[in-house]
Amino acid sequence: MKKNQTQTYYGSYLQLDKLLGAQSPKSLEIGNEAHEEMLFIIVHQAYELWFKQILHDLEFIKNIFTKNQILDEELSECTLKLERIHKIQGLLLAQIDVLETMTPMDFLEFRDLLIPASGFQSVQFREIEIGLGLNENQRPDLKQYNFMGRLNKEDQSNLKNLMEEKSLFSLIEKWLERTPFLKDQKFDFWSEYKAAVAKMLENDKAIIESNDTLEEEQKVSQLKNLEITEKTFEALLDESIHQQFVTDGKKKLSHTATQAALFILLYRHEPILSQPFRLLNGLMTLDSNFTTWRYRHAQLAKRMLGTKIGTGGSSGHKYLRATADRNKIFEDLNDLSTFLIPKSALPGLPQELKKKLNFYFSGN
């Protein structure tokens, strides 16, 4: 590390003059200060600072995943960054509690001064969504709520450029598609998995049919439910059905990447797969945490506004609830839980492959 030539001073290093001079309540500006507006500004600013850190860490992860080959230590660094983002998400959630110490009546004191500004215009929030891989046609009622129209030309153009770049989702998809081990001369994961699933479902059917404690009607109903499960598995096992789901926007992850993700989740106890598993798990947590925040934020809007519209002109709580339901990025990974089978039913791995999946001490 190079030596520092000037003496560092706390306030100037952190540029506190700028940071602490950046709170200008609108109510004060018009000569009728609303005490709570300071809290409103500071909480939003703190959010934007944390968004900046999240983007910084996501950039780090994306840079690594842009490479064609990713080393184990790099994977581990990415997982650490993801785990940090989870902690930040915890802070983002907790800040809503702080904001809720402001009552809805207090908020009304300055709310109208904010129109038409709104969280709709948080460019960094959009950068996170787009950078992670949220599809634009995934957003609720695009025509009515198109956020782009609420941004200035420069922000619009920056976000459009970002949409052209590879998202974390697509980079992870490519990485999964490159997963080795799934097929060699002695082992074909997909056909072994298919056979294991067929055996499991046959077994489930036999259990229902031979269960004397069930009335005939109950048996028929349970067998019907089992048929639905079979159809769900069919949609995963048959590549063309899966591909149709992707085309229809019901699924995002390619069939090859889905197979690899399932392999990693099922055989996560094999040493080499533990890092990839932690990474996938980290992505699922990241997505769930944002969904939790979206629900919590929708509740906050309801508490503050009731059924009033937002300052950005949306239906408020209703719109925000819809984003919580729809704006998910790694949902396909979470959905893979449907296809997990008990460890005892897992196809055994050939010795050679088991060896490859183990760690080796390569010293003398």
CB of 131 within 8 A of CB of 162?
A: yes
CA distances from 120 to 117, 123, 146, 338, 360 (A): 8, 8, 9, 35, 51
Least CB distance from residue 145 to ligand HEM, whole Å? 7
Gap between the Cα atoms of 326 and 240, Å rounded? 25
Angle, CA 343 vertex, CA 338 and CA 349 arms, to 5°: 110
Q: Of the two residues 254 and 314, which places its CB atom closer to ligand HEM in the complex?
A: 314
Gap between the Cα atoms of 306 and 108, Å rounded? 12
- What would the two tokens of residue 39 be? 């809290």
Q: Cβ contacts of residue 116 below 8 Å, gap of 6+? A: 150, 311, 312, 313
Query: Chain centroid to CA 362: how far?
Result: 37
Gap between the Cα atoms of 247 and 239, Å rounded? 12
CB of 123 within 8 A of CB of 151?
A: yes
Least CB distance from residue 13 to ligand HEM, whole Å? 26
Least CB distance from residue 20 to ligand HEM, whole Å? 19
Q: Of the two residues 275 and 323, which places its CB atom closer to ligand HEM in the complex?
A: 323
Least CB distance from residue 294 to ligand HEM, whole Å? 7
Q: Of the two residues 139 and 219, which places its CB atom closer to ligand HEM in the complex?
A: 139
Least CB distance from residue 117 to ligand HEM, whole Å? 8
Q: Of the two residues 245 and 313, which places its CB atom closer to ligand HEM in the complex?
A: 313
Task: Tell me which residues touch ligand HEM (CB under 6 A).
Answer: 43-44, 47, 99, 107, 118-120, 122, 125, 147, 297, 300-301, 304-305, 310-314, 316, 319-320, 323
Least CB distance from residue 312 to ligand HEM, whole Å? 3
Q: Of the two residues 117 and 195, which places its CB atom closer to ligand HEM in the complex?
A: 117
Q: Of the two residues 242 and 297, which places its CB atom closer to ligand HEM in the complex?
A: 297
Least CB distance from residue 293 to ligand HEM, whole Å? 9
What phi and psi, each to the nearest 5 degrees, are found at residue 88? Answer: -65, -40
Q: Of the two residues 174 and 303, which places its CB atom closer to ligand HEM in the complex?
A: 303
Q: Look at residues 104, 138, 346, 126 and name the one whose alpha carbon lies nearest to residue 251.
A: 138
